Amino acid sequence: MDGSIEARPLLREVSAPATTPKARKRRVLWPWLLASMTVVSAFAFIVVWQRIGKPITQSFEIALVTKGDVVRQVTATGTVNPELTIIVGSYVSGPITEIRCDYNTVVKAGQVCATIDPRPYQTTVNQDSANLSVANAQMSKDKANLDYAQLNYERSRRLIEPQAVSQDTVDIAKNLAEQAEAQVALDQAVIEQRKAELAAAQINLDYTNIRSPVNGVVVSRNVSQGQTVAASFQTPTLFLIATDLTRMQVDTNISESDIGAIREGEPVTFSVDAFPARAFEGKVKQVRQSPQTVQNIVTFDAVVGVDNADLALKPGMTASLSIVTDHQTSVLRVPNQALRFQPREGSIPSTTPYPADMKAAHVWVQRSGVLTLVPVRTGISDQSFTAIEAGDLSVGDKVIVGQSTSSNSSALSRLLRL
């Protein structure tokens, strides 16, 4: 009995302690978590493997062959100007005493627009007029002297016959008559000189009135009352007068690559910033032969005539022009992208025939789900379409204009990021 009592404590010491409920739960959950992660990984691997195994699919953008107009145009910018602008300057110098014309003033030919102080020029006219009077008086005096010299010569010539006078007296009388006649001729030349001087002075006096040389409208005034103009070396510009604002022109520069297609009489449409929704029309009036070179770029001037009956266009406006150089109506046409399309390597079956010269014009056509290369001969082109002059095409054919690739090769990377 004593031995049994001593063995019990030993058994309690070696026995394990009892487990808690939380510990039992953790032991149950860990195997399930490991099993779930294994299943998810296997599923993801299978999905990625299937997607990677799928081939890359090709898709093409198509457009239809149509029939319509093709308009070839040359675009440029220019400046609106009057057809004829007259620069009114001053021939004489002096202070401006009066201004009679301003901006937008309608003037007639010969109308006075400004006046320069005329007093210095009037003084010159008066002086030259006086000199002419002196010359006329001198001529009257010399004519009287001529009459007397001729009369004396005739008297001496009659008296020589009865030998009442000597031959020397007759010769002296003749010489005096000839001198008097020469003096009258000299006086006549002096009078002509004085008349010319007076006329020049009168012209300068008339130039003090600045007149409009044409009928038109004043578009610029560069002088004010009281301002002194000097015309010694260069004629100063006082006014700019446009002859007719109902007829305007657009001066534009055409690049040398496009100038060969520009011809006189070709229709032109253009717009200005003041009227963005309005299309103005005109015609090429002149293609000038003078080239202009700016930073190694050669351009040529083209003048476009425009009717401006409503006076909507103002001098100096900037115009954006489209010059029609060729126009074909109701022609077979394809989009420009179709002529530039080239399929990616490997996207077209190897059995598809390729031309020997890939630079030759051609399009790819989709017929019954099969791509076919069709050589063509092109005509004129505009910004959207190109005319087809020859080729196995008809209205409604589907031409390829682009290509896109759809692939699932990135599925693995996307899933791995997850």
- Residue ranges of domains in the chain: 59-70+331-405, 74-84+246-327, 116-207
pLDDT of residue 16: 44
- The number of angstroms, rounded, from the C-alpha of 318 to the middle of its chain's C-alpha atoms is 7
**Residues 211-235: tens digit of each pLDDT:** 999 999 999 999 999 999 988 767 7
- Is 59-70+331-405's fold the same as 74-84+246-327's? no
- 269 within 8 A of 281, measured Cβ to Cβ: yes
Any idea which architecture 74-84+246-327 has in CATH? Answer: Beta Barrel (2.40)
CA–CA dist 352, 372 (Å, integer): 7
What the block records as the tokens of 174 is 């003749």
If one compares 13 and 382, the residue with the highest pLDDT of the two is 382
- 279 within 8 A of 213, measured Cβ to Cβ: no
* Three-class DSSP category at 69: strand
| Helix (DSSP H) and strand (DSSP E) numbers for the chain | 6, 19
Tokens 């009892």 correspond to 18
pLDDT value at 388 more than 70: yes
CA–CA dist 42, 415 (Å, integer): 13
> Is the C-alpha dihedral spanning 85, 91, 92, 98 positive or negative?
negative
Whether the model pTM is above 0.75: no
pLDDT of residue 105: 92
- Calculate helix-pair angle for 167-206, 119-159, nearest 10 degrees: 160
pLDDT of residue 402: 85
**Total count of residues recorded for the chain:** 418
- 282 within 8 A of 47, measured Cβ to Cβ: no
SS3 content of the chain, % helix, strand, coil (to 5): 35, 40, 30
pLDDT of residue 15: 44
If one compares 154 and 415, the residue with the highest pLDDT of the two is 154
CA–CA dist 26, 21 (Å, integer): 9
**Residues 325-376: tens digit of each pLDDT:** 888 888 899 898 888 888 776 566 544 555 555 678 888 888 877 788 888 8
Name the fold adopted by 59-70+331-405. 2.40.420
**Residues 80-113: tens digit of each pLDDT:** 999 999 999 999 999 999 999 999 999 999 999 9
Give the pLDDT mean for 64-84.
Answer: 90
